[in-house]
Amino acid sequence: MPEVILKFKVQIAIAIVWLFHITALIGIQLGHLDWFIEKTPLNLSLCLFLFLLVYPINQMNKIIAFGIFFIAGMFVECLGVNFGLLFGTYEYGSNFGPKLDGVPLLIGCYWALLTFITASILDYTKFKRWPKLILGACLMVIIDFFMEYSAPTFDFWTFEGNVAPLQNYITWFVIAILFHGVLRLLKIKGNQIFSLNVYLAQLLFFMFFYF
């Protein structure tokens, strides 16, 4: 019975994730860009809530890992926003919710969420540890690449010159490998099907506007 309940929760969570992303996509195409993009914090918060509910983050090693990724993610973003280090020169807009020292709190959560779900996606494969670290980092860089195109339009963040420099992607890759290394070291597993759907929903959303 518990497995049946969990499966039902996962199916509902996946349906909600796709509903919100598809609705936003249609709404933006119909000319309601500002209204839907202003709801970005709500969308990300909902994805985070569903992730915490069905992944789940229910053991001490998972809680510690999530905390590490959140704090480290906020720290490196603070260095970037305030000193132009690591990623290049950029600043966050107003559509990512409350900020701490110029960095939206949701960004720290997003670093954590993206690391967990990309690691779970790689658990579908039988690759050894290092290939999983590299491929997991690649998945994170790929979604960042497509997000960069829409970020200024959506008032998420803006790089100097409106173009993300190469160092942004290199930094993402290096940090992502380190984060994935922590997950593999702690032998953390999560819900694979939910992780895959969250990743695909966000990737396809931003790819749509890229192409």
What pLDDT does 38 receive? 85
Question: What would the mean pLDDT of 114-140 be, rounded to a whole number?
Answer: 94
* Other Cβ atoms closer than 10 A to 103: 23
Residue with more model confidence, 142 or 210: 142
Residue count (the chain) = 211
Question: What would the mean pLDDT of 15-23 be, rounded to a whole number?
Answer: 94
Nearest to 206 by CA among 141, 157, 151: 151
Helices (H), 95-128: 105-122
Kindly report, residue by residue over 136-185, the tens digit of the pLDDT. 999 999 999 999 999 998 999 999 988 999 999 999 999 999 999 999 99
Q: Yes or no: say if 127 and 135 are a contact pair by the CB < 8 Å rule.
A: yes
Kindly report, residue by residue over 33-68, the tens digit of the pLDDT. 888 888 888 888 889 999 998 888 888 999 999 999
Question: What would the mean pLDDT of 100-119 be, rounded to a whole number?
Answer: 95
In order, the DSSP letters of 50-83 are HHHHHTT--SHHHHHHHHHHHHHHHHHHHHHHHH
Question: What would the mean pLDDT of 118-137 be, rounded to a whole number?
Answer: 93
Is 211's pLDDT higher than 70? yes
Q: Yes or no: say if 121 and 139 are a contact pair by the CB < 8 Å rule.
A: yes
Give, rounded to a whole angstrom, the gap between the first and last alpha carbons of the chain.
Answer: 44
Share of the chain above pLDDT 90, in %: 71
Band of the pLDDT at 1, cuts 50, 70, 90?
Answer: very low
Is 135's pLDDT higher than 70? yes
In the chain, the number of structural domains is 1
Is 77's pLDDT higher than 60? yes
Residue range(s) defining the domain that contains residue 145: 2-210
Q: Which of 7-11, 35-39, 117-121 has the highest mean pLDDT?
A: 117-121
Question: What residues have CB less than 8 Å from 165, skipping those under 6 apart?
Answer: 87, 88, 159
